[in-house]
Chains A and B, each alone.
Chain A
Amino acid sequence: MTLFNFFINNPDTVFRLILEHLQLTGSAILTAIIIGVPLGIALTRNKHLANIMLAVTSVFQTIPSIAFFGLLIPFLGIGKRTAILVLFLYALLPIVKNTYTGIKEVSPFMIDAGRGMGMTNMQILRMVELPQSLSVIMAGVRIATVINIGTTTIAAYIGAGGLGELIFTGIQMYRNEMILAGALPAALLAILADQVLGYVELMLTPKGLRKKR
C-alpha cells in the first residue's frame, strides 16, 4: 500500500527515472548495434581477427559491472558518459558474437549458389547472409538489452541516474517502498523488452524460415 502511495505522490520522479533508464540502456544498445553488427560481419571475413576480438569482448563480459565502473571512474569521472561506455561494452559481446555466429552458420552451399549465379560479395551479404542470420543477430540484441536493463540500475551508483537511483536511495533511507518503486519498474522493463524484442525477432525471421506452429 505504501508502494502505491509512493507512485501516487511521486509520479513525475518515477516517470523521469524510467525514461532516464531507457535512455541509458537505449543509447548503449544502439551504439552497440551500430558498431557490433558491422564488426561481427567483418570478423566473418577474417578468422584470425575473429578469435582475438571475440576473446577481448569476452573479457569485458567477465569483469563484474561494479568493478568495471570503478575502473573507469579515474579516467572518465562519474556520470552518464562513463555509464554508457560500460553498458556499451557489455552489450557488444552478445551482438558481435551473434552476428558472427549467425553469418557463419549460413550454409556454404547457399553462398556458392549465390556466387555461381553472379552475385557480388555485397549482394551475397545483403541478399543471402543477412536475411538468413537476422533472427540470430536479433537474439543477440535481445540478450544484450535484457542484461543491460539490469546493469543500468547499478549505473546509478556512479551518478548516471535511472531507476537504480530509487533503489540505492531507498536502501540508504531504509524505505522499502522506495526500493520497490525502483526495482519493480526495472524488472518490468526487462520483461517487457524481452517480450517485445522476441516478437521483433520473430517478425524478422523470413517467412520461409519460420518454424510451422
Chain B
Amino acid sequence: MISFKNVTKRYDNFVAVDNLTLDINKGEFIVLIGPSGCGKTTTLRMINRLIEPTEGAIYIKGTDISKIDAVELRRNIGYVIQQIALFPHMTIAQNIGLVPYLKNWPEKKRKQRVEELLEFVGMPPSEFYNRYPNELSGGQQQRIGVARALAADPEIILMDEPFGAVDPITRTTLQEELLRMQDKLEKTIVFVTHDMDEALKLADKIAIMKDGKVLQYDSPDQLLVNPAHGFVEEFIGRDRLLKQPEYINVKDIMIKNPVTILPERTLTYALEKMRLEKVDSLMVVDESGRFIGLTTAKDVLENFDRAERVSEILTTNVHYVTEDANISQVLSIMAQKQVGYVPVISEDNKLTGLITRSSLVNVLGQRLTV
C-alpha cells in the first residue's frame, strides 16, 4: 500500500531520515516509535507530502506520490495530530465534514456522513452535531479528531501521537476504541508514538527508529521475543524482553491479587472500585472465589443506563490459563484472541491471578533485570 524506496530527508547538515526503505501492507496498523529526533514524525509527514523527501521516492498503491497533486493527495489521507487541532470556530459537524466539504460533496451526503461518524465514535448527533470543540472534554475532542480523519473514508490514516495529550484513563479507552474501529474498518494506519506500551498494544507491526533509520520492523510479539541486539533491546527495555519465554511460569509473574468484584454488585460500585484501584477491568468471582467472568470500564460505562448489576454485563467467554502455563502460551492467546487480559485459574476453578499486557512487561522486567 505504501512503500518508501531509499528515502532520505536532510535539513542542512542534519539527516532526519536516512535512506529509509519500508513497505506497509494494506490494512496494517503500523507504529513508528523511537526517541525524539529519530525521524518518526518526518517519516509520517512525508506520506502526505507535508514534508518532501530530499532523495528517494514514496509510492502509494504503486504511484509515486510526488507525481500526485499534494492537495488532492492529502484529501485522500486521514490525518490526526496530537494537538487535536479541531477548528474552534467551527461546529463539531463542520469539523468532521471538512474534508468532504473540500471535496465538494453535496450537503445532504455530508450531513449523513457526519451523523454516521458521530454515531460511530459513540457521540450521539442529536447532542453533539451543533456543539463547539471548546464545549467538549479532551477525550471527546480526540474522538472527533479521529472521526474527522475518517470522514471521506480514506484508505490510509496518519496519526501523530494522537493520544499523547489526554489523561491515562482516557488514553486507554481511546486506544481500545481505535482497535475496535480498526477491526471493522481495516484501514492502513501509520501511527507515531514514543510510548512502548501503546505501540505493543496497538500495532500489527512496529518500526523502531533511531537516527533516521529503521532498526527493526516486526510484530510486537517478535520484537519482545527476538529484539535486534543493542539499541532495540535497550529501547524496548530489558524489563520488557521475554528471554526464553518457555521457561517462565505464569504463576511466577501473574498479578497475585487481581481486583475482583461480586456479580451482584452495582455498576456504580464497579466504577468506583476501578477508580480507587486504578484499573480498567475487574475480575468477577463468586463468594468462594470461583471465576465467573470479567468486565471492563468500557462495558460498565456503555451499559450504565441499561443495566444495574455487574451480573448483567459481564463477559463469561474469557480465555484463561492455568497456573502451570508458560509465557508463550499467554502470548499466543493474547495475539490470537486479541485480548489484553488473561485470568489465571486454579484447578478448582478459583481465580488465582491475572496477566495483562502491561503487567506482563512490567513484572517480567523486574525479574529479568535483577
Contact = CB atoms under 8 A, between A and B. Distances in A.
Nearest to A116: B79
A132 B88 contact: yes
Interface in B129-164: 132-134, 148, 158
A106 B99 CA distance: 20
B65 to A, nearest CB: 13
Interface residues of A, number: 21
Contacts of B88: 132, 206, 208-209
B192 to A, nearest CB: 13
A131 B79 contact: no
B50, B83, B89 interface centre (most CB from chain A within 10 Å): B89
B335 interface: no
B89 A112 contact: no
Interface in A116-142: 116-120, 123, 127-128, 131-132
A136 B195 CA distance: 39
Interface SS of chain A: helix, strand, loop or mixed?
helix
B50, B90, B99, B133 interface centre (most CB from chain A within 10 Å): B90
B273 interface: no
Contacts of B50: 112, 115-116
A207 interface: yes
B341 to A, nearest CB: 35
A113 interface: yes
A209 B133 CA distance: 9
B99 A116 contact: no
Contacts of B89: 131-132, 206-209
Given A112-B50, A208-B132, A208-B133, A117 B87 contact: no
Interface of A: 107, 109-110, 112-120, 123, 127-128, 131-132, 206-209
10 contacts: A107-B83, A110-B87, A112-B81, A112-B85, A116-B81, A117-B75, A117-B98, A119-B102, A132-B87, A208-B89
6 shortest interchain CB distances as A-B pairs = A208-B132, A206-B89, A118-B75, A113-B85, A118-B74, A116-B79
